[in-house]
Structures are given as structure tokens and as C-alpha cells.
Amino acid sequence: MKKKIDSSVKIGDWQLANPIMTASGTFGYGVEYSDFVNLNSLGAIVVKGISIKPRPGNPPPRIVETACGMLNAIGLENPGLDRFISEKMPLLRKLKCSVVVNILGDTLDEYCVLAEQLCDQDIAGIEANISCPNVKKGGVAFGTEARMVYDLTRKIKKKCNKPLIVKLSPNVTDISAIALAAEEGGASAVSLINTLLGMAIDIKSRKPKLANIVGGLSGPAIKPIALRMVWQVAQRVKIPVIGIGGIKSVEDVIEFMLAGATAVQIGTANLVNPSIAGEIVREFEKYLHVNRIHSAKELIKGLN
């Protein structure tokens, strides 16, 4: 009798059917992709970031295509917490796959309010985007100071007992130190990397191509950096690491897992091929079968 292949992975007590997740900001609220992907086949959907009040985002142009990637300066546009709960959650509750809500705020208190109110919702967990500017600290991003990361993580955990993923910015000197601070604060996992800061210039007008001047670089161009950072962080923390950055094939998924990722998030590739997440789920299961790998967990930190 053949041994059944187990595609599942665990983040604390939370079990995902497989390690394939979608990255916040690239998959809407999931339902927008339902014509292209069997949403219930995914390990998890991470919805577009939610703030307490609605945000209009930055003025256009907000997206620029680059070599092997893209720059975006969307500005965290979203309908706000109340509309998310009333308009989006009824649809998300119908899904069988795990739903994770990405949250963002300008202050520690805003993160805590979001976590507390979302804790009562039928979701698998929360992902805290800590790359947002902290107004009270003069524009310093939460995610660049280890002490602030520790404080933010600890306070969110006090407000919500669901799994907490802390999403890390790569725009720091030592991302491992930031990951350790999140772990010490009680994070269930860390996800990395968020976008790298970049810009593009129109040489005819001699003006920036983005109205915001700078934006976040994502896509295959950042994969080697993301892979290196995942490997570094996975050696320092005991909690699971979720890899993000330029993933567009099952081979990319395997690389991230061998480097130490328990799961991965597919981002920019969704905008190129809206069916890609579902395709990678099927290719991942095929990879395990062909290579006689009985459990996806065997791949985690499997680098020789």
C-alpha cells in the first residue's frame, strides 16, 4: 500500500493544507480571483491590507513595470475596517481555505484596535504589516526598530489570541534582529520580504514615473535577496518563516522551503497570471509525488 503524501504544513497550532499562500495586496480579497483559481485549494489567502478608516491611496501613476518586476506606490488603499467586516467577510466566510487579514496602522493603538475587532471574526489569523510610517515617531517605520517591533507584537498578541504573522521590511540593516524581536514579542511566524524601495525616471520629461516618486519593488528581480533573507532569518528564529519575493514557479517554492521557509506567499505573479497560485499548488503536489517526498515538512530547512 502506497504511503499517502502529506502536503500540509503547520504554523504553531494552525495547519495549512499546503504551503501555498497569496500575498497581501496582490490578490484583492480572494473572491476577485475565483474565476481563475479554486480558492479552496490554496493553503491560505492573505487579503489586502486593512486600516481602521478608509484610505484613498496615492495619486496616479501608482504602478510602473520594471525589468523582471514592478514598482508600486498604491498607498495602502482600502475600504476600512467596518466595510471590510460588513462587505468582504460574508464572502470570505464561505471559503474552506484559511483566511488571513493583513492589518496596518499609523500608531500602536490602531494596530491593537484592528487586532481586537478582527479577533471575533471567522479568520485563521492576522498578518501585521509593520512597514507603515509611525506618525508619532516622525515617520520612522515600525519595522526598522527592533524595540518597536517587540512592543507592537506583544501588544497585538494581548488583544487577539489568533495566530499572528509579522511581515518584515527588507529596508533594514539586520532583518534577523527584527525577526528575533517579533519572536520575543510573541509572533506565531514572520513573513518576508516586503517590497524594496526603488524608483524609475522618465528621461523625456525628466520626472519620476511614480507620482509618489518612490515605490516598492517586487517580482522576480528581488527573489535572490528574499531567498537570502529567509535563509538568514530561519537560522536565527524558532518560529516558522513565510517566504515572499518573486515566486512564480514550483521550483521557486522548493528553493524557499529548502532555505528555511515553512510556507510561501505568491505576490506579483498573480498580476501576470491570475491562475498561477492554483497551478503552483498542483505542481507542488506533483513534485512531492515524483520525488517520493511523503511530507512537505521534509523540505523545510533541507538545504545541504
All structural domains of the chain with their residue ranges: 9-57+75-196+218-299
Confidence of residue 262 (pLDDT cuts 50, 70, 90): very high
Residue 35 to residue 43: CA distance in whole angstroms: 18
Q: Are 151 and 185 in contact (CB under 8 A)?
A: yes
Residue 172 to residue 193: CA distance in whole angstroms: 11
Does the pLDDT at position 134 exceed 60?
no
Does the pLDDT at position 96 exceed 60?
yes
Query: pLDDT at position 142, please?
Result: 77
Active site residue 119: no
Cis peptide before 193 (omega within 30 of 0): yes
The DSSP element (H or E) to which 21 belongs, if any, is: strand 20-22
Q: Are 264 and 257 in contact (CB under 8 A)?
A: yes
Task: Determine the average pLDDT of the residues in 238-242.
Answer: 98
**pLDDT over 90 percentage in the chain:** 91
Query: pLDDT at position 1, please?
Result: 46
Query: pLDDT at position 51, please?
Result: 95
pLDDT tens figures, 228-237: 999 999 999 9
Does the pLDDT at position 257 exceed 60?
yes
Q: Which residues contact 224 (CB under 8 A, 6 or more apart)?
A: none
Active-site position among 97, 112, 119, 132: 132
Using CB atoms within 10 A of its CB, is residue 97 exposed (0-12), middle (13-18) or buried (19+)?
buried
The DSSP string of 221-242 is: GGHHHHHHHHHHHHHH-SS-EE
Task: Determine the average pLDDT of the residues in 197-212.
Answer: 96
Q: Which residue has the higher pLDDT, 138 or 100?
A: 100
Task: Determine the average pLDDT of the residues in 106-133.
Answer: 92
Does the pLDDT at position 210 exceed 70?
yes
Residue type, 61: P
**pLDDT over 70 percentage in the chain:** 96
pTM of the model: 0.96
Query: pLDDT at position 136, please?
Result: 57
Residue 136 to residue 198: CA distance in whole angstroms: 25
Query: pLDDT at position 131, please?
Result: 76
Q: Does domain 9-57+75-196+218-299 sit in CATH 1.10.8.10?
A: no
